[in-house]
Amino acid sequence: MAMSYDAIRIEDYLKQFYEQFLPIMEEQSSYITVDLDPDLKAAYSFDVIKSMSIINNMLASGYIGSNNSLLTIGIKESNRLGGCYLDFCVSYTGVGIDKDKIAFLEDRYEEFNIEIKASNGIGSIFRFSMVAEIADDNKLEDISYIFEARSLMNLTHLRIKNRKDCRLKGVTGTEKTDDRPILEGINWSLGDANTGNTDITLSTACRFYKHMLQSIEELAGLYLSLKNDDGQSDDYNNYRICVHGLKGVLATFGATNLSYLAYLIEMASKDNDNNRIDVLHPIFIEQLNLAYSNWTPLKISTTKTKSDDFDSLVSKLEQLKESAESLDFDKCDELLADICQNSYGEELDQSIEELSGSIDMLDDNMIINLCDGIISVAGRK
Amino acid sequence: MSLLFNETQKKHILFVDDSPVLLRTVKGFVPPKYKVSIAVNAEQAFKIIDMSMPDLIFLDYEMPDINGAQLFKLFKERPDMDNVPVIFLTAQSSQECIQEIMELQPAGYILKPPSAERINAAIKKQLLV
C-alpha cells in the first residue's frame, strides 16, 4: 500500500483522534488519557490514516485487557531502539502500573472528573507501541508495531472510585440500563461491544456458566499433567490452549479481569515459565471458583412435566442421532429443547442431562453414543 | 422479487474453532440469509466440507491437535478448495504471530474476541453479498 505523508502537528493529530473516538468512548464508558512528551517537535510528517488505524487496533486490544477501560496513549520521542524514534504507545492503566506514575495519572484523570484509588496486587505492565523512525525533515519512516507485556507481582492497580458519576468533559452520556443481572467481574457493555447484541452476550455467559465447573476441572487436570510429567512441551501446549480458549470466551461476554488473568498464564506457558504458572494458576482457579459462586443468576432453570411417553422420546432421540451424524447442531438444540420439557424419571433425566452437555460441547460422537444408550433404556420401559 | 433464500441458494459459511461456546456465539452474529456450519475440530470440518462446500471459512489459529495453520494447509491441498477464502481468527496480536499468519496468505485475519461487526464486514467483503 502506498504511503501518504502529511505534515501534521501532534496536537492537531490528537484533536482528530479525539473527534473520532469520543463517541466510542462515551458509548463504551471508556476513558483514554494522553501522556504527551513536552519535548515533541512542532510537526511530523507521516501517514495519518494508517497510524490512526494502527492506534485504533491497539486501543481495541487494550480494551480487552483493561479491567476498567482506562487506557493511556503516550506519545514521545525515544532512543531505546538505538535510533531516534517516535513512539505511540497504548498502555493498560486499569490493570497494573508503576507506582511512580500514580501522581501523574491522578492529575490526568482528575481532568475527566474521575477519582482513582490505588491498591496493590498482581498485574502487569502492558504496552502496545507503534514506533516510527524519525528521518530528515521530521519524516516518520518504517512504522512498526511492538507488543510488550511484563508480568510482575505487587503492581499497583487503579480503580475508579466515582465511576457512576463520572462523565467525559463536554460529553453528556446516558446510563444504559437492561434487565441483565449485575455480576461482579462481568462488564456487559464490553461483552455487547463484541457480540453486538445483548441477548447473545447473555446466552454466551449462560452457556459458559453451565460448563464452568467442567472447564475448571479440565484446567486443573492439565496443570497436574504439567507438574507430574515435569513439563513436557506437549503438556505446556495443551495447558496453554485450554487457557487460551477460556481467555477468548471470557473476553467475549465481558469478563475481562478473568480473561486478562488467563492471558498472563497463557504468556507464561508460552515461555514454559513454571514459576509464573505456579503463582498464577492457583489464583486463576480460585477466581474462577469465586466467579462460579457469584454468577449463580446465570444458571438456567426449567420446569419439567412428568411424562411416560417413551415411544415419543425414542423417536426424538433417533432424529437427534441423525442430526448429530450430519453435524446439524441447530436441529440437535431444537430436539433437545423439546425433550427437556419433560421428565422421564431420575435415571433417564440424568442421561439426558449428559446428552445436553455433549450437545453444548458439539461432540457428535458422544451425542450418538449417548442417544444409543438412552434409546436402549427408554425402549425397555 | 422474492427476498426469501432457500437452503441451497444460501451462501455457506463454516466456522472452525475448538471452543463450542465461541462457535455458537459467532454463529449468532451471522444473518439468516447465510447458511452457517460450525466445527470444533478438523474431522468435523472435513465432514461438513464433504457434505457441502463452504463459500467462506473462518478458522481459529490456535487449536489443539491440528492447529489452524496445519488445517489451512490441508484445505489448500485440496484442489476443490483452492478458491475458498479462509479468514483466521486469532487472539495473538503480536507482530510475530500476525506475520506467521500472513505468510500463509489467507484472505484475512480477525483478532479475537471477534465482534459481530468485524465478522459481518468480512463476510460482505468476501462474498460480496
Q: Give the pLDDT band of residue A122 (cuts 50, 70, 90).
A: low
Cell numbers of A181, please? 443481572
Q: Which residue has the higher pLDDT, B45 or A191?
A: B45
Most confidently modeled range among A48-57, A197-206, B53-62: B53-62
> Each residue of A300-357: pLDDT tens digit?
777 788 888 899 999 999 999 999 999 999 999 999 999 999 999 888 999 998 999 8
Q: Which residue has the higher pLDDT, A296 or A46?
A: A296
Q: What is the CA radius of gyration of chain A?
A: 26
Torsion over CA of B79, B80, B83 and B88, rounded to 10 degrees? -90
DSSP strand pairing (A116-134 vs B108-111): unpaired
CA A167 to chain centre: 24
Q: Give the pLDDT band of residue B52 (cuts 50, 70, 90).
A: very high
pLDDT of A360 higher than 60: yes
pLDDT of A47 higher than 80: no
**Nearest residue in A to B110, CA atom:** A57
Q: Which of B24, B44, B93 sits opposite A147 (nearest CB)?
A: B93
Chain A residues 220-249 with CB within 8 Å of chain B: 237-238, 241, 244-245, 247-249
**Contacts of A2 by beta carbon, 8 Å cutoff, 6+ apart:** none
On the question of a cis peptide bond just before residue B113, with omega within 30 degrees of 0, the verdict is yes
Distance CA A225, CA A261 (A): 21
Cβ contacts (< 8 Å) between A359 and chain B: which residues?
none
Cα-Cα end-to-end distance for chain A? 70
Distance CA A35, CA A240 (A): 35
User: How far, CA to CA in Å, does B122 sit from each of A69, A102, A235, A355, B92?
Assistant: 26, 41, 35, 35, 19
User: How far, CA to CA in Å, does B67 sit from each of A130, A197, B72, B85?
Assistant: 29, 30, 9, 18
Given this model, what pLDDT does residue A129 score?
A: 76
pLDDT of A379 higher than 50: yes
Given this model, what pLDDT does residue B87 score?
A: 94
Burial class of A369 by CB neighbour count within 10 A (0 to 12, 13 to 18, 19+): middle
Cell numbers of A248, please? 477468548
What is the average pLDDT score of chain A? 77
- Name the DSSP class of B61: S
Most confidently modeled range among A132-136, A240-244, B35-39, B59-63: B35-39
pLDDT of A3 higher than 50: no
Q: Give the pLDDT band of residue A73 (cuts 50, 70, 90).
A: confident
Q: Which residue has the higher pLDDT, A98 or A59?
A: A59
Distance CA A293, CA B118 (A): 33
Q: Which of A211, A241, A329 sits opposite B64 (nearest CB)?
A: A241
Given this model, what pLDDT does residue B86 score?
A: 96
pLDDT of A155 higher than 60: no
Return the percentage of chain A with pLDDT > 70, whole number.
Answer: 71
- ipTM at complex level: 0.86
